[in-house]
Amino acid sequence: MGEKIKSLFSGENRTKILNLIYSVGAAVIFNMVIQLVLYPGFERHMGAERYGVALAIISVLAITAGSFGYAVNCARLLGVEKGYTDSGNYNLILLGMGVIGTVIGVVYLFILDLATPLSLILYALLMFSTMLRYYSEVEYRMSTNFFRYMIYYILISVGYIVGLFVFKWTDEWMLALILGETAAVVYVIISGTIYRPPFFKPTKHMLPVILSVGFVLMSSLIDNVTLHADRILLLAITGDGEAVTTYYIASLIGKIVSMLTLPINAILLSYLVRYQGGLTKKLWSVVIAVAVGFGAVAFLGCMIVSPWLIGKLYPDQLEEVRAYLAPAILGQIFYFVSGVLMIVLLRFKGEKKQLIFNGGYAVIFFGSVAAGTVLDGLNGFIVSILIANGIRFLGAVVWGLIGRKKPTTEPET
Residue 7 confidence (pLDDT): 45
38/46 Cα distance (integer angstroms): 12
Q: Which of 153-157, 394-398, 406-410 is predicted with the least confidence, judged by mean pLDDT? A: 406-410
> What percent of the chain is predicted at pLDDT more than 90?
21
Mean pLDDT of the chain: 80
Residue 403 confidence (pLDDT): 61
Q: Using one digit for the tens of pLDDT, what is the confidence trace for 56-81?
A: 888 889 889 999 998 898 888 877 66
Cβ proximity of 409 and 273 under 8 Å: no
Q: Using one digit for the tens of pLDDT, what is the confidence trace for 312-331?
A: 878 877 788 888 888 888 98
Residue 135 confidence (pLDDT): 92
The reported pTM is 0.72
Q: Using one digit for the tens of pLDDT, what is the confidence trace for 263-290?
A: 666 566 655 656 666 677 887 888 888 8
Is the predicted pLDDT of residue 3 greater than 60, yes or no?
no
Type of residue numbered 142: M
Is the predicted pLDDT of residue 365 greater than 90, yes or no?
no
Query: CB within 8 A of 106, min separation 6: which ones?
Result: 115, 120, 123, 124
Beta strands in 11-124 (DSSP E): none
Cβ proximity of 345 and 292 under 8 Å: no
Q: Using one digit for the tens of pLDDT, what is the confidence trace for 116-132?
A: 999 999 999 999 999 99
Residue 155 confidence (pLDDT): 94
- Confidence band of 370 (pLDDT split at 50, 70, 90): confident
Is the predicted pLDDT of residue 30 greater than 60, yes or no?
yes
Q: Using one digit for the tens of pLDDT, what is the confidence trace for 162-174?
A: 999 999 899 899 9
Query: CB within 8 A of 394, min separation 6: which ones?
Result: none
298/12 Cα distance (integer angstroms): 28
For 80, 96, 315, 371, 387, the CA distances from 366, given in Å and listed in that order, are 35, 28, 32, 8, 12
59/57 Cα distance (integer angstroms): 5
Residue 347 confidence (pLDDT): 67
Rg of the chain on CA atoms, in Å: 21
Residue 9 confidence (pLDDT): 43
Q: Which of 328, 342, 329 has its CA nearest to residue 393?
A: 342
Cβ proximity of 238 and 45 under 8 Å: no
* Widest Cα–Cα separation across the chain: 66
61/12 Cα distance (integer angstroms): 38
